[in-house]
Amino acid sequence: MSYPKGKVARSILPHYFGHPLVKGVFHGGCIARGKQSSFRASAHAHGREGDKFFGWICYRAGWKIDLEMLALHEIAHLIAGVGHTDEWRRAVIAIGGTLDPAPSLKSYQKRVRPR
């Protein structure tokens, strides 16, 4: 699917963005700074309490909107907040996501240090 830049219409978004905490998807930058703005990761979720854009998920590249496991990773941040915490891990699993490596995702399994 090729998505227009800016706010992506809900009607063309994949079903997994139907989670009630998702307010919308922004393509081509960050919704807070507009199209062509840049950020480090492939995508990020506005999951901080008090964020004016809470519930938005921003993507640099539109084709990544079709990566379900990446989307669920970000949706879990809306549920559990910023950071890859145990609470966030539980949220990922609860909505059918993965902690294992997937397209555009590394492993988020809790690392156990060998003694």
**Contact residues: Zn ion, CB under 5 A:** 30, 58
**Which tokens sit at 63?**
């084709």
- Report the alpha-carbon angle 100-105-106, nearest 5: 60
Rounded least distance, CB 21 to Zn ion, Å = 15
Q: Which is nearer to Zn ion, 83 or 114 (CB)?
A: 83
> Minimum CB separation from Zn ion for residue 51, in Å?
9
89, 40, 10, 102: CA torsion to nearest 10 = -50
Nearer Cβ to Zn ion (58/71): 58
Residues sharing a CB contact under 8 Å with residue 109, sequence separation 6 or more, in sequence order: 99, 100
CB of 115 to Zn ion, least distance (A): 28
Rank residues 54 and 66 by Cβ distance to Zn ion and give the closer one.
54
Number of neighbours of residue 11 by Cβ within 10 angstroms: 5
Two tokens at 40? 């480090």
CB of 83 to Zn ion, least distance (A): 8
- Is the CB of 22 or the CB of 30 nearer to Zn ion? 30
